[in-house]
Structure 1
Amino acid sequence: MAKWINAEQIKDQVSLVDLLTRLGHTPAYRSGRELFYRSMLREERTPSLCVNDTMDVWFDHGGQGRSGIRGGNVIDFGLAYWHPTTFPEVVERISNIMAIPVQTMALDYKQRKRPRQQAKRVANYRVETVKELDSHPAITRYLKSRGIWEAAQGKIKEVYYAVDSGPKQGRQFFSAGWQNEAGAWELRNRVGDRDFKACLGRKAITFLPGDPSKLSMFEGYMDYLSWKTDNPAASDTVIVLNSVNLIDAAVDRARTYGQINAYFDRDRAGEVAFHTLHNALPYARDGSDAYNGYNDYNEMLMARPPRRLPWEEEHIFEKVMATYQR
């Protein structure tokens, strides 16, 4: 029983990033809340071991090492790093490296517990209703601000839900949403000056069936709808990752397609995701040149000047009259 309690305390007290630093490993770069390292569990050149320092979890996009462990919490990392060391030995090593005396950990557990921010996943919720678009003006404004209002018709819903427990118990919320393969709702909205992202349920990819030989892949649904805005007649099958951490699940679904175009973000995380895809399916094509100069497809779409109807164009009267001048 004592060993199990100590393990739980280590998971609450020990930062995985701090442990890696003490072991002599520093991140190659940061992308959002995720840090990317050159994997210390195997040999590689491109950083592909990802650590979410908010949730204190890790995942090696490049593959598993000798231990067969590819991701998890700080103790899972220790089991992979010191393979084939046993579980109790890993707990003791982490305790020693982080200077946490095992015999006294239970005494000051409450005082030393490290605060952790929860993942953006609404666990105790109740979906009250799902409506078609144009019912709530705030959702309409948000989708129009992203430039995908027309493309979103029939593909995005208005999701109204309530929280059943916790500090927000009883509160009701609304967001634009679409479903992933697990049946969960991926949510997007604007709250104040920032974009709100959450998931009602388990994270998974979104799969949209189409042409059985042609596949287009996107990191986010907004990028997919941006591409659809430019390619309204396209019949491709579509995979939306909903998170770069789900690239392996996407690769598994992509194996049967003879033509694959990937439209991932033009940043390090997107490069790592495409590297993983290309290693598994070498004929996959990087389509990010379509928005060269921008981070993603939606950013390019939002940067375009709004289209004006002929009668909205500036100085249209003078331009028309000029055609009659002799």
Structure 2
Amino acid sequence: MNCEKIKESVSIRTVLESFNLLPAKENRKTAFYFALDREEKIPSLSVDFVKNKAFDFGTGKSYDVISIVQQINKCSVSDALKYLHKFDLSVLEKESVAEIDYSKNYEIIQVGNVRHPALVQYLKSRKVFEQRHLVKELVYRFNGRKFFGIGFLNDSGGYEIRNKYTKICLGQKDVTWIKNGCNTNNEVIIFEGFFDYLTYRMIEKEENSIPDHLILNSTAMLFKVKDKLKVYHKISLFFDNDHNGRDTKKMIQDDHDNVEDCSLLYIDFKDLNEWFCNFIEKL
């Protein structure tokens, strides 16, 4: 494993979070942490997230992700690289490609409320932390290795899993219906993925009648619900502004009347969540 590649591809924030170390002060590009090798009342470890490096003003020592692991675990470079392997973005991307079947050969170890600092930070970075009660924290094992992520349950008992590096489904792929039982206007709002649904829940206002919500979890799942959409008098779409999103939107518009394209709200952004994050950061 190439040391320089690891230093560039593994986030220093993620490594620190793996040891439950969180910033005492931070802004968008830098942060101050308490020292790695001593107790102190004023944080002296300056972390530059852009350069992916840290500097201890108390000792004058510089750190990269490898030396941070060495310092905390008191280990060799070789052992530090083994530890960092699980955070290597290129490795995780290879393990998340479509040809790997995550519907088999996995074991869910634990399902609970979202507490892990890395997952808390991930939800905060997507500006949906207040909706954490709608998702779960999953710890699972695949190919003998342990992973964790944000889990969103679908209607077949499978979980959509997301974290900073991973986008997979454990178990059978399916949609997620959220039917409110008081839908007097007979409306359904459809989302491509669950982060857009969480975003909508952040910005929606009180309504006299609450519509049903449908999260496809993939545009490929439209075939499972096309006939079920016929009962609705109004269909509102929050799809991505990309090829798949536009094609799926057109298929629904061709089959149904009274379809509202809500992507016009975030026309200059990839999806609703990206628009919302940009909007919040400008406040």
Fold shared by both chains (TM-score > 0.5): yes
Residue 148 of structure 2 aligns with which residue?
Answer: 174
Map residues 126-205 of structure 1 onto 2, 5 A cutoff.
126-133=107-114, 135-150=115-130, 152-163=131-142, 168-169=143-144, 171-191=145-165, 196-205=166-175
- The answer as to 2:189 corresponding to 1:216 is yes
CA-atom RMSD, angstroms? 1.9
Q: Which residue of 2 aligns with 1:238?
A: 213
SS state of the match for residue 207, structure 1? strand
Higher-Rg structure is 1
1:63-84 Cα deviation digits (max 9, x unpaired): xxxxxxxxxxxxxxxxxxxxxx
Look up the match of 2:253: 278
Residues 177 and 185, structure 1, Cα contact 8 Å, conserved in 2: yes
Shift of 1:252: 2.5
Q: Measure, in 2, the Cα distance between the counterparts of 1:162 and 1:261.
A: 38
Deviations 1:170-209 (A, max 9, x none): x211100111111101100013xxxx10111111111111
| Percent of paired sites with the same residue | 29
Match of 2:26 in 1: none
Gaps of 5+ in 1: 1-115, 309-326
Q: Does 1:301 align with 2:276?
A: yes
1:238 Cα deviation from its structure 2 partner = 0.6
- Count of aligned residue pairs for this structure pair: 182
Q: d(CA) in 2 for partners of 1:244 and 1:181?
A: 16
SS at match of 1:154: helix
Any conservation in 2 of the 1:247–1:276 contact (CA below 8 Å)?
A: no
Report the CA distance shift for 1:198/1:117 in structure 2 as closer, same or farther (over 3 A).
Answer: closer
Contact 1:120 1:199 in 2 (8 A): no
Q: TM-score, length-normalised on structure 1?
A: 0.53
Judge conservation of contact 1:267–1:295 (CA < 8 Å) in 2.
yes
Amino acid across the alignment from 1:182: S
Unmatched segments (≥5 aa) in structure 2: 1-96
Q: Say if 2:245 is the partner of 1:266.
A: no
CA contact (8 A) 2:106 2:140 kept: yes
Contact kept, 8 Å, 1:122 with 1:198, in 2: the verdict is: no
CA contact (8 A) 1:128 1:161 kept: yes
